[in-house]
Amino acid sequence: MIRTRFAPSPTGYLHIGGVRTALFNWLFARRHAGSFVLRIDDTDQERNIDAALQPILDGFRWLGIDWDEGPEVGGDHGPYFQSQRGEIHRAAVDALLESGAAYRDYSTTEEIRVEREEAQTKGRPFVYSRRFMAETETDCKRFEAEGRRGLVRLKMPREGVCRFVDLVRGPVEFDWAREQDHVIQRPDGTCLYHLASAVDDHEFAISHVIRAEEHLSNTPRHVFITESLGYELPEYAHLPYVAEPGSKNKLSKRKLGKYLKNPDFARLNEHGDRIAAAVGLQVAADSFNPVIVDFYREIGFLPEALLNYLLLLGWSLDDKTEFFSRQEMIDHFSLERVQRSPASFDPTKLWTFQEHHMEELEPDAKLGLVLPYLERAGLVGSPVDPEIRDQVAQIIVAAGDRIKAAGDILDYDEFFCVDDALDYDEKAFDKRIRKPPEARGLLLGVRERLAATPDFTTAALEEAVRNWVDETDIKLGQIIHALRVSVTGKPVGFGMFEILEILGRGRCLARIDRALARLDDTSE
């Protein structure tokens, strides 16, 4: 039975790099009909775990990364919070103590520091002298009489090599002698990460430990703990980390300021801010940015797109396949094809995947995604009037691939405002209406045609306007731009005749009149 796990700390947000690790674990489990377990690594005893955990669980749910065991779903191996597993960890420490794989130590941090520095100045690798190791009850008493506090350290082998096969990197080996006698239990009885992690992986019957590369060097400790306890070793696979845009440094939330200097990253960020502002979402830069999964959900990315992009960040099927559905990811995923070197996060390429998956959506599905944004922005009622709903459906079709993220619908607010409240792009108004001397006459002319066209549909309108253009010596371009600015206030947008049809005759004429009035008003 294949069992994998992801062990997030409750930090209040879901990091994009973490999701990639979780995704690979999840895919591997799903691929082999195994289980994916969520374990919460909260050994640090956070104050408000619930509040800090919720965004993470929400993020996974949005992405469709479901867990078979863990918070809120339970399971046979619980509890799934490390903070509640103290007894199990302490029992493991006792067993280690019992077998001699660990010992009580009474050194102080200061004494260790001195030893370490001494070794370093002599150019020797540091290994603890075990000067304050207590192997008997009397030793303990003696040290305690000196006012020392005991903790528990691993008694690491001082010779031989630790060998294991990493499923991504192949055979790896470490000299045992280089390993430190790591602390596994503090004087207050609480246990440290490496102990807890190795024990829990066994308790949860994890078959494949798939985690970030930074743990590769920690693996000998885990191997030692696991084997000393008499447990069977899991398989290990260490994933390269996700790097910053344009660099090989590990992506970290802390360096947001630096990423914002990257133009592509900044553009993505601004895109998000714009949508957030339009829907009145209160956002703080450190909780709403492209390093955090929530960001993508809020601005209307598709989870499939994010997953697809992340999948290819460090994994590939072959030399050509780029797009994967959720099922295809599961069908093809394998650890053998995981890349060994870090991959940097490229916001521009992420958009490619988003666009692709968006294009694959049926108009109805798109409508469902887009409507909530209009409602939240107050551009349509809630629930939306059926007539308006149809109009939005038309807009979606006419907009085509211009709506890349669901929140992009808010770029087309001109369809939802009353004619008198339409904002004009001043530059465009000048260029297309105020400046060309013929604009006034052309607008009047086209107004006449629009008023007279019996059938106010895209095709009929286009025919009418083109015929009119053909009859006179003007060019279509001359009138289209002025018309576009009059009717939408903007210099760009989708097909002019589609816009006219969606708006309808009344609003088109009213808007042309308003633009003309505005022209007369300010040209004097």
Partner RNA sequence: GGCGCGUUCGUCUAGGGGUCUAGGACGCCGGCCUCUCACGCCGGUAACACGGGUUCGAAUCCCGUACGCGCUACCA
289-308 residues in contact with RNA (CB under 7 A) are none
Minimum Å distance from CB 301 to RNA?
A: 16
Set 122, 141, 155, 253: catalytic member: 253
SS (H, E, C) 172-220: EEEEHHHCCCCEEECCCCCECHHHHHHHHHHHCCCCEEEEEHHHHHHHH
SS (H, E, C) 274-331: HHHHHCCCCCCCCCCCCCEHHHHHHHCCCHHHHHHHHHCCCECCCCCCCCCCHHHHHH
Question: Which of these ranges, 191-199, 272-280, 294-302, 419-427, lies near RNA under the rule CB under 7 A?
Answer: 191-199
Question: Which of these ranges, 89-97, 189-197, 278-286, 297-305, lies near RNA under the rule CB under 7 A?
Answer: 189-197
255 is catalytic: no
For position 336 contacting RNA by CB under 7 A, the verdict is yes
For position 174 contacting RNA by CB under 7 A, the verdict is yes
Q: Which is nearer to RNA, 4 or 107 (CB)?
A: 107
Binding mask 5-44 for RNA (x = CB under 7 A): --x-x-------------------------------x-xx
Instruction: Tell which one of 224, 497, 502, 515 touches RNA (CB under 7 A).
Output: 497
Question: Which of these ranges, 73-81, 112-120, 282-290, 436-444, lies near RNA under the rule CB under 7 A?
Answer: 112-120
Q: Which is nearer to RNA, 47 or 320 (CB)?
A: 320
Minimum Å distance from CB 74 to RNA?
A: 21
Residue whose C-alpha is closest to residue 14's, from 297, 204, 281, 223:
297
Helical pair 505-523 and 496-503, crossing angle rounded to 10 deg = 110
Q: Which is nearer to RNA, 349 or 376 (CB)?
A: 349
For position 194 contacting RNA by CB under 7 A, the verdict is yes
Return the residues of window 401-430 that contact RNA according to CB under 7 A. Answer: 401-402
Residue whose C-alpha is closest to residue 519's, from 436, 452, 396, 447:
436
End-to-end CA distance of the chain: 82
For position 477 contacting RNA by CB under 7 A, the verdict is yes
Minimum Å distance from CB 252 to RNA?
A: 8
The answer to whether the CB of 480 falls within 8 A of the CB of 488 is no
Using alpha carbons, list the distances in angstroms from residue 223 to 36, 197, 228.
22, 11, 8
Instruction: Tell which one of 16, 22, 65, 112 touches RNA (CB under 7 A).
Output: 112
How far is the C-alpha of 49 from the C-alpha of 64, rounded, in Å?
Answer: 22
How far is the C-alpha of 498 from the C-alpha of 391, rounded, in Å?
Answer: 11
Q: Which is nearer to RNA, 288 or 353 (CB)?
A: 353
Minimum Å distance from CB 52 to RNA?
A: 13
Count the residues of the shown chain that bind RNA, applying the rule CB under 7 A: 81
- Dihedral through CA 381, CA 383, CA 387, CA 392, nearest 10? 80
Return the residues of window 363-392 that contact RNA according to CB under 7 A. Answer: none
Please count the CA atoms within 13 angstroms of the CA of 94 that sit on its side-chain side: 7
Active-site residues: which are they?
253
